[in-house]
Amino acid sequence: MIENDISAWSPDDTLRILIASDIHLGFMENDPVRGEDSFIAFEEVLSLAVQCDVDLILLGGDLFDQAKPSVNCMFKCTEIIRKYCLGDKPVSIELLSDQIKNFSRTVNYEDPNLNISYPILSIHGNHDDPVGQGSVSSLDILSITGLVNYFGKWTDYTHVRISPVLLQKGLTRLALYGLSHLKDQRLSRLFAEKKVEMERPDETLDWFNLFVLHQNHADRGHSNYIPEGVLPTFRSVVWGHEHDSHICPMKGNKTEKDSFFVVQPGSTVATSLAAGEALPKHCGLLEIHKGNFKLTPLPLQTVRPFIFKTIVLSEENIGSDDVNENEKVQEFLKNRVNEAIDEASKLKTADLRQPLLPLIRLSIFYERESQNFNRIRFGQNFNGLVANPNDLLIMKKEKKIREKRECDPEEEGDMTGVAAEAADVESLLRAYYEAQPKDKRLSVLSVRVITDAVRDFTLKHNEDVLRRAFDAHKRRCIAALLESTAETEKEIAEQLEVCKRELDEADDEKLHTLVDASARPSAPAAQLIVPVVKLPNTVGKRTIVVLSSDEEELSTRSGRGRTTRASRGKSPRGKSTRATKASAPAPSPPERRTPRRSAAQKSTSCFRIS
């Protein structure tokens, strides 16, 4: 229930939470124009938390744009958090649940070595999920330094059991459930198999159940999103990952008895030039009083203005078709860009931190190739006027795809529109391979293996994943051919198609099992053996020593009467050649023993609900 009149609410019993999501710190940080946008928006979010005097800040994932943020990005993030979240203001919320179970460590505002005024609670998203050795996330680094309380992290992907963070302020009790990003196909399967469990607190008490997750909300295909109907009953759900902001509570599609309200904060910075990113950006103030709540949208004032327009040239009065059609189209679009710039100027606020140059994107549908032109050259006309002159326009050929395929099914599809509408790298790659004619489609490599490897390479910066994926796939195909009775070229192609189909149709868990089973174990490094071969040489009665190995080419040495080092004879000058002795290893320095410093401890009593 949303309570509109909050005058009767006692401040001591009202829990105030600032909600934001998809900050994407470090997005385009090397761009001279847009590099500071994500940091400016994040600073405004935290400043709003101070102005609203909230009890805590709740982030719905993707605090960072990359799984391995740069040193500069981590420095600026730490600087902003310390500026706004540290201080002497007392925290008036009490944590009742097991801190180690929720956060793997003590919550930061109870740490005696830190002065936290506005605690941040965050899950991770698909951009800043754990990677590398030890599965460490960038949020783990902020957590160990005491700047962020990181919860909702999972290591067992076969069974998810969520234990809520139990908070209390006066008479208001909050059970906060967090589910960091899991691959949508995997999470959908876990929900279908009833392997996602939610622990319930003491039901004799009145708890406000709040769930925060980071998954696909919009329907992007079977098992590629999380339907609201599979979620348990909550009072409200904070949905991260989707960038279009719908900060007003939306009624869930469950039954009236089990329905809940969905809050979709959206991103604070435009990371793609799509129509959804052009919506106004918000964060929200959630106020909870016992069983009632109120959500207040907080428009962001420092977001770069963004205008998105769709133009169909066949519906515009450009003029008759003649030899100057290309020039007329460009002149027409220049006027439209100028109109968009004027429209963007109306979105400027009084905040001096707001970037000045706007983002403009025109999606153009054209009929004939004579209407197409060089977009990069066109954008140079607006240098200094827009923030994105190199990608002002996206050109899509206006045609009916179904009729085009019927007329010429073997013609390669136009991927321009697909690339603009793709939600992620995996969707773009799948759409690309599906659009190829049959003779150009992959016949050996699995599309699933490639898309998963490219995703890990782009999002997690795992530089070795592509080589390992291709090597494992190659070894699997070779093993299948050796085990089969295929002899002719047609039989070999059919066997390779069977291997490819098995990987493409496998679910995530089975796919990783098949690929990992084909991975070759790393062999121990072989010792280099250098044989010494003596070859007699009748010229000058000298002995020539040849050193050969797998690493060096076979070589011979010749000189003016001098023998090689390995020769036992003497040189013409009467000096014997001595063999070089292997130098003894340097002694290791003595181990330095210093007493360990005991960490500061604080005895706290917590009330555990079983």
Q: What residues are annotated to the active site? A: 127
Question: DSSP assignment of 519-532, as one string?
Answer: PPPPPPPPPP---E
Strands 282-289 and 292-299: antiparallel
Q: Report CA torsion sign: 356, 357, 363, 364.
A: positive
Reference 452, options 472, 466, 438, 431; nearest CA is 466
> Alpha-carbon distance 501 to 448, whole Å?
10
> Alpha-carbon distance 218 to 60, whole Å?
16
Q: How far apart are the first and last CA of the chain?
A: 28
Question: DSSP assignment of 300-363, as one string?
Answer: -SSSPPEEEEEEEGGGS-----STTHHHHHHHHHHHHHHHHHHHHHTT--S-TTS-SSPEEEEE
> Alpha-carbon distance 346 to 316, whole Å?
25
Identity (one letter) of the amino acid at 282? H
> Alpha-carbon distance 285 to 247, whole Å?
10
Reference 291, options 235, 232, 334, 243; nearest CA is 235
Q: How many CB atoms lie within 10 A of CB 182?
A: 21
Interacting residues of 156 by C-beta distance below 8 A, sequence separation 6+ = none
Q: 518 and 473 in contact (C-beta within 8 Å)?
A: yes
Interacting residues of 511 by C-beta distance below 8 A, sequence separation 6+ = 448, 449, 452, 503
